[in-house]
Structure 1
């Protein structure tokens, strides 16, 4: 499944929470965890030259300490860790290292130390840009929410997989089912009838029923794949605002993980990271696996 997991860290509690999930996945897959700390170039032009270098060194030392602290944690868990410290813009360095390390999965906190300078959402600038710019699956771990790695180190006990039948949703499902297989977790495959779609406003029951049938058609291949792995499966088509319906459903079944495509079928006019995915990431208090 995974040979190489990239774990960006910055010393924040969010990145420590992400580390526990990277360790849990690496334990069952045998992957190497590449711990990466990035310190941004500092502009101290207003300071005398003899004062700039100590500050630069202090910034680098903080990154090195963050990397070593988490890498030691990984090593102590019996997982192979590789430590890397770089200078640069965090999301750009992360994307570069993804290619260098032949990364299969990125595990990172939804927000890091820069959160205080960012908008009041659960998704930090670095995480959002990494999700947008890389084709590698990203497991985004929120701070203070549901953490399956703390309760079952073999994997999530319950996974919600929203699908619209898109290729990205299929890929997310395949990855999530692999994780669930290790822990023998239950799987909920859901499709959403989007109540924000103007075409469905005041639509007759026959049209809604056609939408429901289409939802079941999207669900069925994933449900079959889950049953073929001897996993317990619940399939459901629900109505609502997509991101709210997904987050509410996951909370109602006490899911450990939401796994979804980062873009769906209705994203022609959307940016590279679909709006539903962004809103789920912003509102979810449990890890979200986003796959392009």
Structure 2
């Protein structure tokens, strides 16, 4: 909402802004009301990481806000999500998963220091202090003090930011960093999901395309079956086909079999297809690394 309501910003989001504005104009929502929400709403770390469901992850500042206005703001946020995020979410999530997996491999090879050094030029880690360089060249220091740190990728943030727990709240601060984007990556995001879903279902079948979209979060076989409304045995058969095609990878964790998208599977969801001659080698290399 901050990116949408602000002027300027990266031209990579111009198409998304114009599409969102056209849809919001139909129901009277405006940049002004959305900008007011941005100024009034405070997000706690649990809103970003799916923390304690009993806590309030979103608070609206200002004791003078009337109950009806409060309800209007909540309705506007819900409508904004429906228009600006939901149609594109499966592709956005696939991009975030791919970035998360790449950062995870970086952490395994280079440790925490190496990971933080590659997140963003404005993020610096000097034990025991995390430094964020703001747009006006000021330094913000976050002393972790053993609290830990949650690291979260974002498509819509232009600069890194740290969300600290409010006074009296437990939990780790959350470092949100912008995912690197180029014109090819960003163009693939703004295709309406409904048409993309139909095309993918026509290509792979409804169940297998559903499995790929579900696996933007790692799942076991029984979870896949439950989410897609098929038996565990049927889900297992479909995952075998997708695994042989190099679209997913499977690993065993104790007595549980977990399925995850490969980079090729992520590319298929995003509608970004590499050269066909590269597909087997990419899938085999990913399985070997896993």
TM range (shorter): under 0.3
Whichever structure has more helix as a proportion of its residues is 2
Q: TM-score by structure 2 length?
A: 0.27
Larger relative CO (CA 8 A, sep 6+): 1 or 2? 1
Larger strand proportion, structure 1 or 2?
1
